Amino acid sequence: MEPLSRVPPAPPAPAAQLPASVCVYCGSSNRAPAAHQDLARDCGRLLARAGIALIYGGGRIGLMGRAADGALAAGGQVIGIIPRFLTQREVGNLEVTELVVTETMHERKRIMAERAEAFVVLPGGLGTLDETFEILTWAQIGLHDKPVVLLNPGGFWDPLLAMLRRMVDSAYVRPEQQGLLRVVDRLEDLLPALGREVRPGGRSQFERA
């Protein structure tokens, strides 16, 4: 048996640290509910005040634009990443700290994923879902281990969470993979969720945290 003196002490639990940059995935619709537009602005402001750089899709429209407005108004760093062919449709935001213009959608998503240390999902549509599930599946196959937090105001995402639970119940998603998505109902809970350590096999995050 290994002598006790040679057994290295257990490393201290790492302190939960806030990420330096967060990518926000959210809707591009200007017709989205006012409460969601306000939430996006408040989210941008919260991140800026916490000293966290906002990485986002680079447009001025919808929740995307509001998140950038909130962060910029609070003096935050905002990095927009937009494909050239969308600069007109999504109204490329020239006020941001840095605007990266890509040639393709794939390049946009790759750069957003690379430059962010964590991801936040706000209400949105098909593009938001695409980005969210791509980043979750990349985590599932071990391409990254960055936190992904879903903000679920007023239960907006409840039907999606029910679908995810059904996929677990039907063994399409392994139970431990539920921890890949952290769910919070309120903006006040966002920063703690971004900083929290992920423990393999931890409690289900398809439920509300």
List interacting residues with ligand AMP (CB under 6 A).
27-29, 57, 59, 64, 86, 90, 105, 109, 124-128, 130-131
Extract the tokens encoding 13.
Answer: 């639990």
Minimum distance from residue 157 beta carbon to ligand AMP (Å):
13
Give every CB contact of residue 92 below 8 A, 6+ residues apart in sequence: 58, 59, 60, 80, 82, 86, 99, 101
| Cα 138 from Cα 136, distance rounded (Å) | 5
Q: Tell me which residue of 185, 153, 148, 172 sits closest to 63, measured CA to CA.
A: 153
Report the residue number, 61 or 209, with the smaller CB distance to ligand AMP.
61
- Residue with the CB atom nearest ligand AMP in the bound state: 127
97: amino acid identity, one letter:
T
Minimum distance from residue 112 beta carbon to ligand AMP (Å):
9
Report the residue number, 151 or 191, with the smaller CB distance to ligand AMP.
151
Minimum distance from residue 191 beta carbon to ligand AMP (Å):
23
Report the residue number, 59 or 178, with the smaller CB distance to ligand AMP.
59
Minimum distance from residue 25 beta carbon to ligand AMP (Å):
7
Return the CA Rg of the chain: 18
